[in-house]
Amino acid sequence: MGDVQVFDYYYGDESSQFSFYRIPRPLIRDKRFKGLSTEAKLLYGLMLDRMGLSAKNGWYDDKGRVYIYYTAEEIREDLCCGNDKALKLLAELDMKKGYGLIERIKQGQGKPTKIYVKRFTTRTVPEPPTLSEVRGADIGFSDFQTSEKPMSGPRRIRCLDLGKADPSYI
C-alpha cells in the first residue's frame, strides 16, 4: 500500500496560521446549486479569491465591475486536471452554458479572457420611502408589513431564508 504519512494534531489555535480559500455556504447548502459539481464550486471559490487581488490592481471595467484573469492553463495547474476538465468547469459556471456564476468576455488578439465573477445572491435595492411614508400619513396599523418573507413556519426554513450563521463557524 505504500508509505503512509503520519500527520500531527492541531493544538490551540494553530489552524489560524494558514490562509484559506472560501467557498460560500449557499453553494453547498442551497438547492439551486445541488447540481453544480464540487470541482466547479471549488473553482468558483478560487475565482472569488482572485477578486481581491484584481480589486487591489484596479481591474475594473467602465461600469465599476471587477474582473479577473484566470486562464485554462492556470486552472489545470491549480486543480491538477486536464484541459478538457478545465474547460468543462468553466462552461459549468458560465452564464451561456451553465449556472451563470461567471461571464467570460473574449478580448481577442492573444489577450486573456476577462472573467466576471457574478453574485450568487440577488441584489435588491429598496426604493427610498416617500415623505408621507416617513411621517406615517394615511397608513393604518393593519397595512404595515415588516417583511416581505413570511416569518411563520418551521424553524429550519426560517434559518435558510434569513441566512442565520452557524454559531460555531468563524
Domain extent listing, the chain: 21-117, 132-162
> Could you tell me the pTM of the whole model?
0.67
Cβ-based neighbour number of residue 110 at 10 Å: 5
pLDDT of residue 127: 52
End-to-end CA distance of the chain: 38
- Helices 38-56 and 83-93 pack at an angle, to 10 degrees, of 80
Q: For the domain bounded by 21-117, which CATH number is listed? A: 1.10.10
More confident residue, 110 or 40: 40
CB of 49 closer than 8 Å to CB of 23: no
66 strand-pairing partners = 60
Taking all residues of the chain, what is their mean pLDDT, rounded to a whole number? 79
pLDDT at 44: 97
**Measured CA distances, 142 to 53, 139, 146 (Å):** 50, 8, 11
Name which of 138, 112, 6, 137 is nearest 59 in CA terms: 112
Predicted pLDDT at 113: 94
Residue 124's pLDDT is 55
Q: Which set of grid coordinates corresponds to residue 137?
A: 400619513
| Total H helices, total E strands in the chain | 6, 3
Of the pLDDT bands very low, low, confident and very high (cuts 50, 70, 90), residue 13 is confident
- Residue bearing the bigger pLDDT, 5 or 129: 5
Could you write out the DSSP letters of every residue in 17-75?
GS------HHHHH-GGGTTS-HHHHHHHHHHHHHHHHHHHTT-B-TTS-B-EE--HHHH
> What percent of the chain has a predicted confidence (pLDDT) above 90?
53
